[in-house]
Amino acid sequence: MNVLVTGGAGYIGSHAVRRLLAGGHTVAVLDSLHRGHRAAVPDGVPLVEADLRQTDVVEKALNENKVDCVMHFAALAYVGESVGDPLTYYDNNTAGTVSLLRAMDRAKVRRLVFSSTCATYGEPASMPIVETMPQSPINPYGWSKLFVERVLIDYAAANKDFAFAALRYFNVAGSASDGSIGEDHEPETHIIPVLLNVALGKVEKVTIFGDDYDTPDGTCIRDYIHVEDLADAHAVVMEALKDGEQRFYNLGIGQGRSVKELIDAAREVTGCKIPADLGPRRAGDPPMLYANADKINNELGWSASITDIKQTIETAWRWFEANPDGYGDN
C-alpha cells in the first residue's frame, strides 16, 4: 500500500514510517518540520516539507505518490500550550485536518488512520477507559482532536466509500529498540525524557506536580504505551480497514504507572539519583487515566508487547545516552 504519513518527521510519526516500511508498504512523509526532524526520516523516503493547510501542496503530494491511505499524526500536542493559545490549536489540528480531507477528496484517497487522543474523554467517571464512555475534553487540545473525529464521521456519512479509524491513545514513551530514532522535543514536557535529561545532567531536577491526588502514592497515574507498539497498532488497523468502515480504538497497556513509580524506575535503569522536587498541581491534570484496549484485541488481535515500564525506559535511555542533543537541529 502507498501511505502518506503526515507528521512523519515527528516522534510517533517517524516510528510509524519505519513500521510501515518493515511491513512492505511504500511511504512518503509530509511534515512542516515545525517540531519534526529531517534526520528522523529514513534515506530514500520522500519528504514533502509543507503545512497541512496548504491544500494544493497536499493534493499534489497525494497524487505524485499515488497514495492509497493517509496516516495522520501531524498536530500540536501540548495541553498547557493549547490552554494559552487555543486558536492555534484549532487552526492547526482541526482546520489542518479539514484541509487534508479536501486534498484527499480531490485526489480520491479514501482511507485515513487518525492519531486521536485519550484527551477526548476529559475526566472519566471510572477506570479503565472504554470507547463507549462520554467524550468531554477539559482542554482545547482534546477538543481540537474530538472535533476532528466529528468531522471524519460527517465526511464519511457524505462519502460512503470513505474509511477511517480514530485511535485514542495514552502517554507514549520509549524509543526504537535499535536506538536509531527517538524522542526530541523542544520544549520537552514528557516526564520520561525529562527524567533522562536529569540523569544526563542537562536538567537539574524533575518536578512532581502534586502528590495529593486520590491515588495510592498521591501522584498522577497514566498508561504508558511504547512508541513501537503504538506504530504497530496503526499499521494493523490500516491493513484491516475496508471501504466505508469507521473504527474507534483505545490504545494502551491497560494499566497505569504513577509519577513516583516512573522516577524510581528511571533511577534504577540509569543508575543516577535523579533529584525530584514537589511542585503545585497543574491545571487540567486528572488523577488517573488508563485504557481498556480489549476492543482492538478482540477485533484485530492486537495488544501491546511491552508492558514493563523499565523496559520502556531502557529503550529511551539507549537513545538519550547515544544522542544527548537529540537530532542536533533544535
Mean local confidence (pLDDT), 100-127 = 96
Identify whether the C-beta of residue 68 lies closer than 8 Å to the C-beta of residue 3: yes
Cα–Cα distances (Å) from 85 to 113, 141, 160, 192, 241, in that order, read 27, 10, 36, 25, 35
Sort strands 171-173 and 206-209 into parallel, antiparallel or unpaired.
Answer: unpaired
| Distance in angstroms (rounded) separating the CA atoms of residues 6 and 270 | 34
Question: 236-264: per-residue pLDDT in tens?
Answer: 999 999 999 999 999 999 999 999 999 99
Q: Name the percent of the chain lying above pLDDT 70.
A: 99
Determine the pLDDT at residue 282. Answer: 81
Q: Is the per-residue pLDDT at 156 higher than 90?
A: yes
Mean pLDDT of the chain, nearest integer: 96
Instruction: Say which amino acid occupies 277.
Output: D
- Taking phi first (over 0 means left), then psi (-120 to 50 degrees means alpha), and beta for anything else, what does residue 123 get? beta
Whether 141 sits among the annotated catalytic residues: the reply is yes
Question: 194-218: per-residue pLDDT in tens?
Answer: 999 999 999 999 999 999 999 999 9
Q: State the catalytic residue, choosing from 89, 121, 141, 224.
A: 141
Q: Is the per-residue pLDDT at 29 higher than 70?
A: yes
Question: 81-111: per-residue pLDDT in tens?
Answer: 999 999 999 999 999 999 999 999 999 999 9
Determine the pLDDT at residue 31. Answer: 98
The C-alpha R_g of the chain, in whole angstroms, comes to: 19
When pLDDT is cut at 50, 70 and 90, the band that residue 189 belongs to is confident
Instruction: Please give the residue that has the higher pLDDT: either 128 or 189.
Output: 128
Question: 266-325: per-residue pLDDT in tens?
Answer: 999 999 999 999 999 987 778 889 999 999 999 999 999 999 999 999 999 999 999 999
Q: Is the per-residue pLDDT at 178 higher than 80?
A: yes
Determine the pLDDT at residue 330. Answer: 63
When pLDDT is cut at 50, 70 and 90, the band that residue 188 belongs to is confident
Question: 43-88: per-residue pLDDT in tens?
Answer: 999 999 999 999 999 999 999 999 999 999 999 999 889 999 999 9
Q: Does domain 191-222+254-322 have CATH number 3.90.25.10?
A: yes
C-alpha cell of residue 53: 493547510
C-alpha cell of residue 251: 490504545
Determine the pLDDT at residue 196. Answer: 97
Q: Crossing angle for the helix pair 11-22 and 227-240, nearest 10 degrees? A: 60
Residues 6+ apart with CB under 8 A from 182: 11, 175, 176, 316, 319, 320, 323, 326
Determine the pLDDT at residue 261. Answer: 98
- Domain layout of the chain by residue ranges: 2-172+225-251, 191-222+254-322
Q: Which fold has domain 2-172+225-251?
A: Rossmann fold (3.40.50)
When pLDDT is cut at 50, 70 and 90, the band that residue 22 belongs to is very high
Other CB atoms within 10 Å distance of the CB of residue 131 = 18
User: 191-222+254-322: same fold as 2-172+225-251?
Assistant: no
